[in-house]
Structures are given as structure tokens and as C-alpha cells.
């Protein structure tokens, strides 16, 4: 018996979790924690999400609507970092397809419905362009790319940064005197979620939910 007990003592943590799984009738909800720490946490959470003064709530709601966010998303960023969102970073791959024309010219074709979403946006808009978005793009073509992009997006794009990582986002925002805490990333999937986190942005908004009806 003692030998059997010793062998079980070295079992993997996942095995232990399975052996302690709830029985029939359990709804798989969280444990009912009556500890002091849990009580303090619940109290702090309730106070943090307590409804603010009406004028503050209206101001936040209007800002959230201008940015295509929900009230809760905007408020969560304010509580987490103290920063007020006012800008968005949109990856070029989500915004448009870039290709060469018959004469070698750069042609930008907006993705379905993205141009309409950009038109609703009332903040500072930055685009992150993959450095290989168009094969063999020259420095001169990159310098003139913003003007071509803004013909498609009605002058809404403030700047474009070339790169594919968080450092490129930080560099672009810094060059325009914008703290990275005040910008959020519009993305699609876990790859963009990681990109936003690496860049230190407080929020990554899925493009399918951008300006979605609440």
C-alpha cells in the first residue's frame, strides 16, 4: 500500500485535476470562494465598475462610438492604464489588397466593407504596412504610398509605418507624438492579438466587431 501511494504522489498535475473534477450535477462554475482575498477583490471590482456620473458616462459613450468600441472596452482601458484611447492601428493586410498594375504602378483595392468602417472612424488612424506588401517596392514608392492609400480611404490615414512587429508600431506612433497607451490595434485572430500585446497596446479589437451594433 505504501509503495502504491508513493507512485501516485508523483502523478502529473493534469491527472490530479481530472481526479478532482466535479461530479454529476455540477454546472462547472467557479468555486464559491469565501476567503478574505476573494471578498476584497469582489468589492474592488464592484467599486471600479460602479456607474460614474451621467456626464462622465455620456462622454465615454460618445468617445467609444467615435472609435467603434463598446463602452465597456473603453472604460476597461481607462481603469487598467489611465489612458484615453484616441487612435487605431490597422494592418494593411486587413485594410486592402496591394498589387501591381499593367504598367507596374501600385494599385490598392480595399477589402470588403473596410472602407465603410474606416469612414465611420473619428480618431487618428495609422496603418501598419508589411514591408513586403508589394514585391520590390522602392523607397520612392513607399514615400508616395500614403497618398495613394488616402485616395482609397478618403484621407483618413494619418501615417503608414513599414514593418511587421510591435517595434514598428511603437516607432510609428512615437514619430507622431502619440503614446502607445492611447492607441488600439484592429486585428483578426491570435496573431494580431499577440502583435498588439508585444507593441504594448492596451486593446486589440477584432475587425468583425469594429463598429458592430451593440
CA of residue 64 relative to chain centroid, distance: 14
Under CATH, domain 54-209 is a member of which superfamily?
HAD superfamily/HAD-like (3.40.50.1000)
Residue ranges per structural domain of the chain: 54-209
Q: What is residue 13's predicted lDDT score, i.e. its pLDDT?
A: 52
Q: Are strands 124-129 and 106-110 parallel, antiparallel or unpaired?
A: unpaired
Q: What is residue 31's predicted lDDT score, i.e. its pLDDT?
A: 64
The grid cell for 129 is 504596412
Q: What is residue 38's predicted lDDT score, i.e. its pLDDT?
A: 74
Do 102 and 108 touch, CB atoms closer than 8 A? Answer: no
Q: What is residue 4's predicted lDDT score, i.e. its pLDDT?
A: 47
Q: Output phi, psi for 129, to 5 deg.
A: -100, 125
pLDDT, tens only, 115-164:
999 999 999 999 999 877 776 788 888 889 999 999 999 999 999 999 98
Q: What is residue 5's predicted lDDT score, i.e. its pLDDT?
A: 44
Given the C-alpha cell 495609422, which residue does it identify?
Answer: 126
Contacts of residues 200-203 at CB distance under 8 Å and 24 or more positions apart, as own/partner, are 200/166, 200/170, 201/89, 201/169, 202/77, 202/80, 202/81, 202/83, 202/85, 203/69, 203/73, 203/76, 203/77, 203/85
The grid cell for 32 is 464559491
DSSP string, 87-132: EEEEEHHHHEEEEE-TTS-EEEEEPTTHHHHHHH--SEEEEEE-TT
Judged by phi (left if over 0) then psi (alpha if -120 to 50, else beta), residue 104 lies in: left
Q: What is residue 206's predicted lDDT score, i.e. its pLDDT?
A: 95
What pTM value is reported for the model? 0.76
Give whole-number Cα distances, 163 to 79, 92, 132, 180, 204, in Å: 31, 10, 9, 16, 18
Q: What is residue 2's predicted lDDT score, i.e. its pLDDT?
A: 47
Residues of the chain predicted below pLDDT 70: 1-33, 41, 44-49, 135, 214
Amino acid at each position: 500500500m505504501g509503495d502504491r501511494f508513493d507512485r501516485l504522489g508523483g502523478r502529473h498535475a493534469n491527472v490530479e485535476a481530472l481526479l478532482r473534477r466535479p461530479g454529476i450535477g455540477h454546472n462547472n462554475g467557479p468555486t464559491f470562494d469565501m476567503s478574505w482575498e476573494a471578498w476584497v477583490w469582489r468589492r474592488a471590482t464592484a467599486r471600479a465598475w460602479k456607474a460614474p456620473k451621467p456626464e462622465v458616462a455620456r462622454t465615454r459613450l460618445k468617445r467609444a462610438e467615435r472609435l467603434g468600441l463598446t463602452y465597456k472596452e473603453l472604460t476597461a482601458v481607462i481603469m487598467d492604464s489611465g489612458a484615453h484611447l484616441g487612435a487605431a492601428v490597422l494592418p494593411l493586410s486587413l485594410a486592402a489588397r496591394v498589387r501591381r498594375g499593367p504598367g507596374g504602378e501600385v494599385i490598392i483595392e480595399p477589402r470588403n466593407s473596410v472602407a465603410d468602417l474606416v469612414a465611420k472612424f473619428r480618431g487618428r488612424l495609422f496603418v501598419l504596412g508589411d514591408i513586403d506588401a508589394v514585391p520590390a517596392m522602392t523607397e520612392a514608392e513607399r514615400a508616395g504610398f500614403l497618398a495613394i492609400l488616402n485616395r482609397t480611404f478618403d484621407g483618413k490615414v494619418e501615417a503608414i509605418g513599414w514593418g511587421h512587429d510591435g517595434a514598428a508600431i511603437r516607432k510609428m506612433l512615437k514619430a507622431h507624438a502619440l503614446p502607445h497607451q492611447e492607441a488600439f490595434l484592429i486585428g483578426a485572430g491570435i496573431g494580431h492579438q499577440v502583435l498588439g500585446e508585444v507593441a504594448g497596446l492596451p486593446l486589440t479589437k477584432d475587425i468583425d466587431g469594429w463598429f458592430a451594433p451593440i
